[in-house]
Amino acid sequence: MRKLLLLLVAGFLAFGISYFATRNAMKPSASSQTPPEKAETSSSSTPSTGSKTGADSGSGNVVPPGMVWIPAGEFWMGTDSPDAWDDERPAHRVKLDGFWIDATEVTNAEFQRFVDATGFLTTAERAPTLEEIMAQSPPGTPPPPEESLVPGSLVFTPPEHPVPLDDFSQWWQWTPGANWKHPEGPGSHLAGRENHPVVHVSWDDAVAYANWAGKRLPTEAEWEYAARGGLDRKNYVWGDEQPSLEQPQANLWNGTFPHRNTKEDGFERTAPVRSFPPNGFGLFDMSGNVWEWCADWYDRDAYKRIGRGKVQVNPTGPSVSNDPLRPYATQRSQRGGSFLCNDSYCTRYRPSARHGGTPDTGISHVGFRCARSAQ
């Protein structure tokens, strides 16, 4: 997708920047990069956190720093709600072994330690090649001008007035020089945001970090089970009640999207991790703040291929990416919604909601957290 964004700059983009953009307000690759050497210990500095069932909970492991043990169990994945997006249906049974998952999204400070230790350059910090761009472009797409082949990323830039919600170019801007160290582009910095989730990280970047930390990305099933926090078949990670502005449960968009954010939850963009109450498993920001990469390929129709009477055991997702709305893009799954989620435009801050993103793309509202299997 990063390559396609460059085509947008050149005026040649033939299809949507992201899946949610193509479905505005609708309601009814593996990395080729060799990962850096693995860290000897977890890079997280967050204090150890135990779930309500106990920090160890029979896992047989010492608690990894900053991680929560999610006990084995069975749950309804997805939803049958008529208000859900099509890729969330139908609900189906899933059984999982116990696993560890980060209590919070990976922060800027944690990612900085990874970069300091390895010298890693993220996707947004490297210039794309013309060959990479054209490989993901529809047939007949003219090549972008050579001067557009520079490092950069997509930054949310709110307009000053109301705009049509079917024109996402009104609030997304390709910004040369934008990356995890400069979230809004050149001139922006991380001072005071060390404990915010890292953004502008591609799936490839997230996998490299996870390998270094001795972890992995969670599967979609693991992520949703953990996000629900023991509240099976609920609309939100906190239950069924609508989000509250009096006692905000998550970092979401307040006001009128995309031009007016009242910041009634206290934040305009990302929030420091642990700013809102944890869910039933002791996990933070499983709703809103930033989208989180998962290990699975994204298949828009995956749930429709699963028999309702069959219980899936430790599913790892489809073997290939599939999205008829974006036939030229291969995508990995993202979960959780972001600070841009608003019921007038995108309600995908719910635990069953799904999203696809090309693995070479980082954006200013996408981050990740890591998981680890029991040993």
What's the pLDDT at 3?
A: 45
In the predicted structure, residue 144 carries a pLDDT above the cut 50: yes
263-273 residue pLDDT tens: 999 999 999 99
For residues 197 and 290, is the Cβ–Cβ distance under 8 A?
Answer: yes
Beta-carbon contacts of residue 133 (< 8 Å; ≥ 6 apart):
3, 4, 6, 7, 143, 144, 149
328 confidence band (pLDDT: 50, 70, 90): confident
Burial of 259 (0-12, 13-18, 19+ CB in 10 A): middle
What does each C-alpha distance from 13 to 65, 141, 178, 299 come to in angstroms? 44, 8, 20, 23
What does each C-alpha distance from 9 to 174, 229, 268, 326, 327 come to in angstroms? 7, 42, 26, 19, 21
Instruction: Return the structure tokens found at 163.
Output: 């705009």
Distance, C-alpha 357 to centroid of its chain:
9
Q: Please state the rounded mean pLDDT for residues 229-255.
A: 95
In the predicted structure, residue 67 carries a pLDDT above the cut 60: yes
135 vs 12, residue with greater confidence: 135
In the predicted structure, residue 15 carries a pLDDT above the cut 60: no
For residue 333, list its beta bridge partners: 356
- DSSP string covering 230-261, please? T-TT-SBTTBSSPP-SSS--SB---EETTTEE
- DSSP string covering 56-67, please? STT--SPPPTTE
320 confidence band (pLDDT: 50, 70, 90): very high
What's the pLDDT at 80?
A: 94
18-60 residue pLDDT tens: 333 333 333 333 333 333 344 433 333 333 334 433 344 445 5
pTM across the whole model: 0.85
What is the average pLDDT value for the chain, to the nearest integer? 85
For residues 19 and 168, is the Cβ–Cβ distance under 8 A?
Answer: no
Angstrom distance (rounded) from CA 114 to CA 38: 10
In the predicted structure, residue 211 carries a pLDDT above the cut 70: yes
User: Regarding beta strands 99-102 and 255-256, do their DSSP bridges make them parallel or antiparallel, or are they unpaired?
Assistant: unpaired
